[in-house]
Amino acid sequence: MNCQWQMGVLVMRECGMPAAAGCAICSRPICAAHTMMGQNGPACPGCAAHTAGYGENDDTEIAGARDQYYSQYGGATQFGSRGYFSRPDSASMAQRGLQQKPTQQRQYDDKET
């Protein structure tokens, strides 16, 4: 079985390397490069980014940012059904409750002309 972690933000695609373990949180197969070790056992970067007790690296940073961006524009509901995320990604997004969120307070004046 191959690693099902989806890399990227705009052009998401599966890693495809041979899987070495399964994510203890979302149970998708993951390769050694995408395995994050933490208090709940091996986890994929997406789950590690949202669970306490896991370290940070480029993959978790991208996974966290990707969830944040997509959740503001409909999240798993909007994108998952259109083939933007794999089924495990959509499921884990839904599981984490990453639905549409209000945008953050801006530091500049939107209305200024």
Partner 1 sequence: MSTPVVEALSPAATQAVAAKVLTGAWSGRALVKLLGELEKWDVVIEAKKAKMNKLWIGSMIGAFVGFILMFVLFPYGIALFLIPFVLIFIFKKQLNGLEAADIPDELRKSVRPVLKQLGQDLHPEEKIKGTIQLTGIDESRCKLKKDLPPGHNRSLKLSVYETEVCDLRLPLADGSTAVLRLNNTFHKLERSYRTTRGKCKSKTKWKKAVTATAMLIPPVRWNWEPARMQKYVDKVNEKLSFAEKNGVMAARLDRYYKFKGIGNAPVATVPAEDIMKLFVRLSGMRPAGGTR
What is the Cα–Cα distance from 87 to 64, expressed in whole angstroms?
18
**Max Cα separation, the chain?**
56
**Amino acid residing at 63:** A
Q: x-or-dash pattern for partner 1, window 16-55, by CB under 8 A?
A: ----------------------------------------
Stretch that binds partner 1, among 24-32, 48-56, 85-93, 103-111 (CB under 8 A): 103-111
Q: Does 13 bind partner 1 (CB under 8 A)?
A: yes
What is the Cα–Cα distance from 4 to 21, expressed in whole angstroms?
11
Minimum CB distance to partner 1 smaller for 8 or for 55: 8
In the set 27, 73, 87, 97, which binds partner 1 (CB under 8 A)? 73
Cα angle vertex 75, ends 11, 93, to 5°? 90
Residues engaged in binding partner 1 (CB under 8 A):
7-13, 58, 61-62, 65, 68-70, 72-74, 78-79, 82-84, 107-113
